[in-house]
Amino acid sequence: MSEFKTVCQQRKALDSRKISVRELTEEYFGNIRKRDSEIGAYITLCEGRAYEQADAAQKLIDSGEAAPLTGIPFAVKDNICTKGIRTTCGSKMLEDFVPPYDAAVIERLCGQRAVMIGKTNMDEFGMGGSTQTSAFVKTRNPYDTERVPGGSSGGSAAAVAAELCAAALGSDTGGSVRQPAAFCGVTGLKPTYGSVSRYGLIAFASSFDQIGPIAHTAEDCGLILRQICGYDKRDGTSSAYDMSATAPAFGRALAGMKLALPTEFFGEGIDTEVREHVYAAAKLYKQMGAELIECSMPSMRYAVAAYYLISSAEAASNLSRYDGIKYGHRTADADSYEQLVRRSRSEGFGDEVKRRILLGNYALSSGYYDEYYRKAMALRQLICAEYDDIFSRCDAVITPTAPTSAYRPDERINDPVRMYRADICTVPVSIAGLPALSTTCGYDRDGMPIGMSIVGRKFGEPTIISIADAYEKHFSPRAPKLLQGAVTNG
């Protein structure tokens, strides 16, 4: 890859004419032709459209009117609507769906003349943590192609790690930006719920879903966030809080800053190597002048159960629209309305999606609503209160992003309960609607990346980005095995 790997590096190189937008775009498509058959990061490529966007971007740069993301090649998770380009959600149900409109985030990026490389693979409808439930391709980890890239935004994270794009958009419901970023050795940001418009994001669980960037650095993620955040009247949950003008304080001294380490995130179920690397990162922060505060979140033990009850209930409701009539997959063999709906849904949805729909309908059914769903919602408030208590004393929270590093598909893919438990480090943040950023803090004995999450107050993205940036400046990342021997600056 070119010496210009990060978004910020590319911005400077493009503006100084060290490289043209077309040359940069050609380099990424060349990488895709060489590597993506092994990785499987993309479902759909937009090569012709990308070169048109590249030429339009170059004109803006040449006229001195470039915006922060003008000419930057990016990828988009395939549950974000793109006008005229199929958007599948990794599902047979939407295999031929071509949206008639762009999502709000696409309007903003394309409005700046960023260059869209293509649509990335994902777990079907965002339901999974491995990117192995896609109906089209199973994405592999660039650090070890025998392991998963995480999910559900695994295609986006793998594309960034393998240098198949400069940055990518993912969506995070219970950890789907942060966990694949950790597994693939890149940086992923889940913004505060409501800070980025969900207009055009195909819904999984509407009170959790949030679009976020995946890139090589925290600085890149912050730059992208400032371009895509902001109020949108088309999204009823969109916040009027303006983050676009609030830049992180890069190079900010950490002296006096208080960082919390909840004991529950470092206990049973957390791999020893993961624990040691995150603790080592925390000690580095202490050397930088930060104060480490041990604290407790007792309700964390119930977080996974609460998350899967609430999110599955919302998924069952959101996915009820796919009935073989309005749009989506329609069976070719049905003799009645009931048979049409049943067969269309049975053929269109994969096993994991069906599992979540069944769980959600069960939780919402008569006689079980109070027993399960209502209790899960009460626990959601308790988790929010525990975070509020921590943030009354601390500036940010440090935790592992995932209890393990990337695993082989055959180790968990047929054990859904074990897969769900692996979300223990990410779902509490999603339940509370807080911002969190995952960055690499080390590598295990097999050379697989280990992720550390930095969690902030609502709309505290500038703080957590600056904290992550301070660590990244002291950390030397390793190139994925796929790229070793290639010319990189990483």
Query: How far lies 236's CA from each of 204, 240, 325, 426, 444, in Å?
Result: 16, 11, 27, 25, 43
440 — phi, psi (to 5°)?
-75, 135
Q: Would the pLDDT of 3 be above 80?
A: no
pLDDT for the residue numbered 489 = 36
Any idea what the Cα angle at residue 404 is, between residues 403 and 408, rounded to 5°? Answer: 140
Q: Would the pLDDT of 490 be above 50?
A: no
Q: What is the 3-state secondary structure (H, E, C) of the chain?
A: CCCCCCHHHHHHHHHCCCCCHHHHHHHHHHHHHHHHHHHCCEEEECHHHHHHHHHHHHHHHHCCCCCCCCCCEEEEECCECECCECCCCCCHHHCCCCCCCCCHHHHHHHHCCCEEEEEECCCHHHCCCCCCCCCCCCCCECCECCCCCCCCCHHHHHHHHCCCCCEEEEEECCCCCHHHHHHCCCEEEECCCCCECCCCECCCCCCCCEEEEEECCHHHHHHHHHHHECCCCCCCCCCCCCCCCCCCCCCCCCCCCEEEEEHHHHCCCCCHHHHHHHHHHHHHHHHCCCEEEEECCHHHHHHHHHHHHHHHHHHHHHHHHCCCCCCCCCCCCCCCHHHHHHHHHHHHCCHHHHHHHHHHHHHHCCCCHHHHHHHHHHHHHHHHHHHHHHHCCCCEEEEECCCCCCCCHHHHCCCHHHHHHCCCCCHHHHHHCCCEEEEEEEECCCCCEEEEEEECCCCCHHHHHHHHHHHHCCCCCCCCHHHCCCCCCC
Tell me the fold of 7-257+392-483: Amidase signature (AS) enzymes (3.90.1300)
CB distance 32 to 162 below 8 Å: no
What share of the chain in percent tops pLDDT 70? Answer: 97
pLDDT tens digits, one per residue of 99-115? 999 999 999 999 999 99
Q: Would the pLDDT of 244 be above 80?
A: no
pLDDT for the residue numbered 245 = 63
Rounded CA-CA distance 59/48 in Å is 17
What is the arithmetic mean of pLDDT over 209-231? 97
Rounded CA-CA distance 443/412 in Å is 21
The owner of tokens 């079980």 is: 368
Beta bridge partners of 449: 443
What is the arithmetic mean of pLDDT over 203-222? 98
The owner of tokens 């069952």 is: 316
Instruction: Indicate the length of the chain as a whole number.
Output: 490
pLDDT bucket at 417, cuts 50 / 70 / 90: confident
pLDDT bucket at 308, cuts 50 / 70 / 90: very high
Rounded CA-CA distance 126/195 in Å is 20
Listed by start position, the domains of the chain span 7-257+392-483
Strands 115-120 and 73-77: parallel
pLDDT tens digits, one per residue of 420-442? 889 999 999 999 999 999 999 99
Q: Would the pLDDT of 319 be above 50?
A: yes
pLDDT bucket at 486, cuts 50 / 70 / 90: low
What is the arithmetic mean of pLDDT over 300-307? 96
Terminal Cα-to-Cα distance of the chain (whole angstroms): 10
pLDDT for the residue numbered 4 = 84
Catalytic residues: 77, 152, 176
Chain mean pLDDT for the chain: 95
pLDDT for the residue numbered 420 = 84
pLDDT for the residue numbered 209 = 98
What is the arithmetic mean of pLDDT over 82-95? 98
pLDDT for the residue numbered 388 = 98
What share of the chain in percent tops pLDDT 90? Answer: 90
pLDDT for the residue numbered 488 = 39
pLDDT: which is higher, 78 or 490: 78
Query: How far lies 4's CA from each of 10, 21, 216, 403, in Å?
Result: 5, 12, 11, 33
pLDDT for the residue numbered 13 = 97
